[in-house]
Amino acid sequence: MSAKIISGKDVAAQIREELRAEVMDLTSKYNVKPGLVTILVGEDPASQSYVSGKQKTAKELGFFSIQDTQSADISEDMLLSLIDKYNHDPKIHGILVQLPLPKHINENKVLYAIDPDKDVDGFHPVNVGKLMIGEGRYFPCTPFGIQQLLIRSGVKTEGSEVVVVGRSNIVGKPISMILVQKAAGANATVTMCHTKTKDIKSHTLRADILIVAAGRPKAVTADMVKEGAVVIDVGVNRIGMTPEGKAKLVGDVDFDAVKEKASLITPVPGGVGPMTITMLMYNTVKAAKFAAGLEK
Ligand code: NAP
């Protein structure tokens, strides 16, 4: 049996369509236009491309959006003042600081300066803590996207054994925390694995839903997967770089072999990746509704 492919591209397009309609409604009925600022420090090409993708999507959805680019030698104090300005700007509901920042700037100090109400990335300790106690307003975008992929593919999480490979603050821990909540689209029994886990295979083989965010090609091979499991591959690895700078994009899962055992699987590219920007837009619409008193 070959697994059915979960297309993140299709699910993301569906959510964006819903958001576009919601933004039109908010603008026409309540004069509320979701506002997003993306702050880019320096000229790193990868960061430029991520930020322009976010700006393009925000514009397509009818947001008010600002791209604020600062030179790489901006002082930490100047950057903190800039964030303070956007914290107090009523047209801005979401603030995104593109990482990484130059070495002379303390990233955490900058991220923690963002008003938690405008922290649409969901990385502020206030939002991380709220997620932990089941009062989360903004879930971090990649794990939130994974939950949406599961829900919209009809995967039952309640009572399922979920095994997460990886325990980073941006993927492994938050997706574990989201899926263990006493809530719809969650209620799972979650195990988190990492490089110090003993006999990782004994855990992954139990998984009804296996989520892999290790950052290593073939971290999960077919012998580690239960027949009929749902496999979500978060990894993005560039392999076989040519002298011209071209590389193949692969995930963390040995896709060709694992798809013969899984019931559902996400591809790389086209799986989790397209969901991340979409959930950033979702969080920004939510922030705008919250600021307008339309949502608690
Ligand atoms: P990370 O910070 O490097 O964390 C990797 C985690 O995986 C660590 O907890 C590590 O364990 C664990 N790990 C690594 N190799 C392992 C192995 N062989 N067995 C068990 N555990 C292992 O990475 P991340 O930021 O979470 O990202 C993970 C992957 O997802 C990367 O490829 C990244 O590019 C991708 N990603 C994609 C998106 C997207 O939008 N599609 C977003 C974010 C990340 P230790 O803690 O013990 O070191």
239-284 pLDDT per residue, tens: 988 888 888 999 999 999 999 999 999 999 999 999 999 999 999 9
Known catalytic membership, residue 84: no
Cα separations in angstroms, 12 against 19, 44, 64, 104, 173: 10, 26, 21, 36, 23
Q: pLDDT value at position 57?
A: 97
Residue 241 has a pLDDT of: 84
Rounded distance between C-alpha atoms, residue 78 and residue 67, angstroms: 17
The Å distance, Cα 166 to ligand 1 centre, comes to 5
Q: What pLDDT was estimated at residue 296?
A: 78
**CATH domain 141-273 topology:** Rossmann fold (3.40.50)
Q: What CA–CA distance (Å, rounded) separates 128 from 218?
A: 30
d(CA 13, CA 182): 28
CATH 3.40.50.720 boundaries in the chain: 141-273
**pLDDT score, position 170:** 95
pLDDT digits (tens, 9 = 90+) for 104-118: 999 999 999 999 999
Which position among 98, 147, 148, 181 bears the catalytic label?
Answer: 98
Ligand 1 center to 64 CA (angstroms): 33
- The top-level CATH class assigned to 31-116 is alpha beta
pLDDT tens-digit readout, 139-163: 999 999 999 999 999 999 999 999 9
Confidence (pLDDT) at 211: 99
Residue 244's pLDDT is 84
Of the candidates 54, 173, 261, 286, the residue annotated as catalytic is 54
CA distances 189 to 37, 162, 180, 206, 208, Å, are 37, 6, 6, 11, 10
Residue 209 pLDDT > 80:
yes
Average pLDDT score, the chain: 97
Q: Name the band, by pLDDT with cuts 50, 70 and 90, for residue 16.
A: very high
Catalytic (active site) residue 54: yes
Q: What is the pLDDT of residue 68?
A: 98
Sign of CA dihedral 169, 174, 176, 180: positive
Q: Is the pLDDT of residue 103 over 90?
A: yes
Q: What is the pLDDT of residue 130?
A: 97
Selected catalytic residue, list 119, 121, 208, 252: 121
Q: Which of 57, 121, 171 most suits a substitution to test ligand 1, by most atoms within 8 Å of the C-beta?
A: 171
Q: Which long-range contacts (CB under 8 A, 24 or more apart) does 222-229 make?
A: 222/254, 222/257, 222/258, 222/260, 222/261, 224/200, 225/258, 225/261, 225/262, 226/261, 227/261, 228/261, 228/262, 228/263, 229/261, 229/262, 229/263
The pLDDT score that the predictor gives to residue 246 is: 85
Q: What stretch(es) of the chain map to CATH 3.40.50.10860?
A: 31-116
Describe the crossing of helices 141-152 and 273-291 by its angle, rounded to 10 degrees. Answer: 100
- pLDDT above 80: residue 1: no
Per-residue pLDDT of 29-58, as tens digits, reads: 999 999 999 999 999 999 999 999 999 999
Q: What is the pLDDT of residue 242?
A: 84
Rounded to 5 degrees, φ, ψ at 283 are -65, -35
